[in-house]
Structure 1
């Protein structure tokens, strides 16, 4: 394994994340043009699907990824995880049917519960396939499932909305995209169904009893604010908030790609007690995880309102939300690496503590923030909770692994972002910006930042040169 393993192993995953982020962005953009209220109902539906997926997961997906990554009896662990999740789903489905009136009123669509059952089932299978592919170290292929699902729903929406099926067509498109992702995932997976023994279930449960909190954290981090907003504010504000969140997510896929590739590699090295390489991979990852989120925050301060205005004037009120959430994304870029490293080192107990604190803070601060400050309070609450979570995960990983934070390189990234911001501040006209002007300025800022980083950081310059050489070889 070379020194640049984690960067190179993240290369395919990076492009899978790019494709997924673009497909999500285009899907949200398409719905945003239909109105903030429609986007709000869609967002609440997806949030409930995620919650159901969380309940049926119970940490089993992360446990399956861990056991599969260890390379022993992979088929049995895959089958055990899938069977257990399907069993849990039967009970959850009964609850959904029993509370169908309340759920329908909350989401705001008469067919919410039938589609919720369909989409939750396909999402269960899709997420199990995703984690299993990741455990096989096919992280880039796993990342394609998100692209297929989101791209599939977008393709389905175009004719369905053109035929005036409205929200019904939107929900049909979500399900069709998931079904397509499941078909593709089954085709890529080398694992097969094989009868598991009792010890396979017990092994999964031993890991899952801690990792379920990680799954809860991931879902709560993405959807808690949206779910609570659905109780207190109109769907139009939920739609504005969701669009703001999706815009900030575009700047997170580098950290997401690196952390996804990091887990199976650290897991394998830790199983061989090769902690020197574990430390090297972690330190190198920290150089790159903030390489987009840091300049993204600076750029967001300048362009948040005009970017939102590209989707319609009703979305401009979310500019403050975008800026605050960009800060949360920047901290999350580092937290996700610490968290994946802890899980890969088979310390889900430490992540359990971190996730528990985060969850309590996230829910309580969101309720208080929304009640006191309105819908903008959700963004501040989410950011404060993530700052605390990052600090805790850093503390725990440092307690079991000695590594050096590359503060020099991170400092240069901050410096490059500030230089980019200063240039954009000078170049940006003070009048209302048209969409082509916004795109041109954002592209200019990205070029300024990239060139500055290449000049300042030798490690990035060397890796970039190596990646270019690899691309040329492939061509």
Structure 2
């Protein structure tokens, strides 16, 4: 597997998915307003949270075992057999808790929740199998189908007057497309499950599930907790939830490259670990860290300067209530850019137990801080809680990984990126003082100016310039 080309394919797909997602969010935000999004986002959060007990780490364990190369079909058959009983049990619990689900979401979406849970879990398993088959680049096409289905079918349903239901049904259509194409591309045949392979998957998954819980807590616990406060009538409104999640999704754009590299990194590091190739693992991790960090740092500075303008122009004036939330979350992405690489590497060297310990600590910090800080500061408190808990998570992952590997962190290059980002921020702020930003064209022009300033300064440093030249090579090979 070519790590650079696989990362690039995923990055291109994630860029496409981000564009589609943002186009959909912009359209739905302007057409429906913040309150319906305050129902849709908790729905997606609930799907994610309920996916934890229905999966219980089986998907990541399947990717790990299939990537090792032995008994692929038996591992796949065993994974399928393990996944469906909890899916059925959780679905029955949802059905019998219909009244509380409706109160929590603010709309009767119980049946849609059950269907979304089945479709999402089945689709996601196909993606993890493809990754385990060392076909990470091919998952790019599969994963972009969800936003395509969401925006196309969701907009049609919006025109038919379905309101918030258009968002939910659009998500179901996109997930179904992902399911169909994903399993069409899987090449591993399905064999009968065995107790031996059950033990192997559970042995890995029992720790991996905690990391999965950490991912869902990180992505959705703030929205889930905000929704609880809305349900009991204190602290926040559904409109503020919609604004918060839009700010969250805007901040995620800066993570596209980091996530792409981490996704491609896992099966490769897993394969090297199985072969005992420690030197190759130690050399690739710093290489994987730097390109992501070179993008995240200037993005944080740019967002800090332009947060109000970004929210107002992209989504509408009522979303500017989350301007400070956006700055906090963009700052948190600096730590996440490091974490996604270190976290996947720690799991790939077959130490999901240590990743689980780090995640368990951060989950506890996240939960406690969310309760206290949301009650005290509303949506700003949720952002602060998420950021502090993730700093703890990243620090622990770095501590554990360096116990097994000698990692030469690219400190000097990162410092130069900080200098270039600060200079860019000053230039953009100076322009903003004299130019009032009222249109998407004006906003885009200011952003392009900032990119030009940052690029010009950061490439003055020859080690970074050499890395950039090396990164261009796989891009040229990738272009037909």
When normalised by structure 2's length, the TM-score is 0.95
The range that moved more, 458-467 or 300-309, is 458-467
Aligned-partner Cα distance in 2 for 1:194–1:129? 15
- Change beyond 3 A, Cα 1:315–1:224: same
Displacement of 1:9: 3.5
Asked if 1:409 corresponds to 2:413, the answer is: yes
Equivalent in the alignment of 2:21: 24
Is the Cα–Cα contact under 8 Å of residues 213 and 356 in structure 1 kept in the other structure?
yes
Alpha-carbon distance between aligned partners in 1 of 2:464 and 2:67, rounded to the nearest angstrom: 29
Of the structure 1 ranges 294-303 and 157-166, higher mean CA displacement relative to structure 2 is found in 157-166
Question: For residue 326 of structure 1, what is the aligned residue in structure 2?
Answer: 330
Aligned to 2:391: 387
Q: Does 1:452 align with 2:457?
A: yes
Output one character per residue of 1:224-259: Cα deviation in whole Å (capped at 9) or x when no partner: 000000111221010000100000011101110011
Counterparts of 2:120 and 2:152, CA distance in 1: 18
**Any conservation in 2 of the 1:63–1:211 contact (CA below 8 Å)?**
yes
Query: What does residue 40 of structure 1 align with?
Result: 38
Does residue 115 (structure 1) correspond to residue 112 (structure 2)? The answer is yes
How far 1:195 moved relative to its partner?
Answer: 1.3
**Partner deviation per Cα, 1:91-123 (whole Å, 9 max, x = no partner):** 10111011110001110112x100001111000
Map 1:290-369 to 2 at 5 A.
290-310=293-313, 311-369=315-373
CA shift for structure 1 position 430 = 4.7
Residue 171 of structure 2 corresponds to residue 174 of structure 1 = yes
Structure 2 counterparts to residues 76-225 of structure 1, below 5 A = 76-110=74-108, 112-225=109-222
Give the secondary structure class of the aligned counterpart of 2:297: helix
Cα shift at 1:464 = 3.1
What is the distance in 1 between the residues matched to 2:105 and 2:47?
Answer: 11
What is the CA–CA distance in structure 2 between the aligned matches of 1:466 and 1:397, rounded to whole Å? 26
State TM-score, norm by structure 1. Answer: 0.96
CA distance in 2, matches of 1:72, 1:472: 32
Shift of 1:459: 4.5
Distance 1:398 1:261 in 2: 21
Q: Is the 8 Å Cα contact of residues 5 and 478 (structure 2) preserved in structure 1?
A: no
1:32 and 1:461 map into 2 onto residues whose CA distance is 42
Counterpart Cα distance in 2 of 1:157 and 1:337:
34
- The number of aligned residues is 471
* Contact map agreement 1:455 1:461 (CA 8 A) in 2: no
Distance 1:299 1:331 in 2: 17
| 8 Å contact kept, 1:20–1:144 | no
User: Per-residue deviation at 1:289?
Assistant: 2.1
Structure 1 match to 2:379 = 375
Deviation at 1:199, TM superposition (A): 1.0
| Partners of 2:36 and 2:242 within 8 A in 1 | yes
Cα distance in 1 for partners of 2:471, 2:349 equals 29
| 1:229 corresponds to | 226
Query: What's the CA shift for 1:287?
Result: 1.3
Instruction: Check the 8 A contact 1:412/1:457 in 2, yes or no.
Output: no
Q: Choose from 248, 254, 260 the match for 1:251.
A: 254
Is 2:51–2:117's contact at 8 Å kept on the other side of the alignment? yes
Name the CA distance, whole Å, in 2 between partners of 1:473 and 1:212: 35
Determine the C-alpha separation between the residues in 2 that align with 1:61 and 1:226: 24
| Residues 1:450 and 1:191: Cα distance change in structure 2 (over 3 Å) | farther
5+ residue gaps, structure 1, are none
After superposition, the Cα gap between the structure-2 partners of 1:174 and 1:219, relative to the gap in structure 1 and judged at 3 Å, is same
Instruction: Tell me the distance in 2 between the aligned counterparts of 1:257 and 1:297.
Output: 19
String of CA shifts for 1:306-341, please: whole Å, max 9, x gaps. 010011110111110000000111101101111111
> For residue 283 of structure 2, what is the aligned residue in structure 1?
280
Change (3 A) 1:460 1:334: farther
| C-alpha deviation, 1:134, in angstroms | 1.3
Deviates more, 1:296-305 or 1:6-15: 6-15
1:402 deviates by 1.2
Give SS of 2:209's match: helix
Q: Is the 8 A contact 1:20 1:143 kept in 2?
A: no
CA distance in 2, matches of 1:427, 1:82: 56
Residues 335-393 of structure 1, C-alpha deviation per residue, up to 9 Å, x if partnerless?
11111111000001101110100100011101100011122100011101111111111
Q: Would you say the 8 A contact 2:286–2:410 is kept in 1?
A: yes
| Alignment-derived partner of residue 233 in structure 2 | none
CA distance in 2, matches of 1:280, 1:447: 31
2:251–2:326 Cα contact (<8 Å) kept: yes
- Give the stretch that moved more between structures: 430-439 or 211-220: 430-439
Confirm or deny: 8 A CA contact 1:40 1:239 kept in the other structure. Answer: yes
Taking a change above 3 Å as real, the CA distance of residues 118 and 424 of structure 1, as seen in their structure-2 partners, is same
Deviation at 1:50, TM superposition (A): 0.8
CA contact (8 A) 2:155 2:166 kept: no
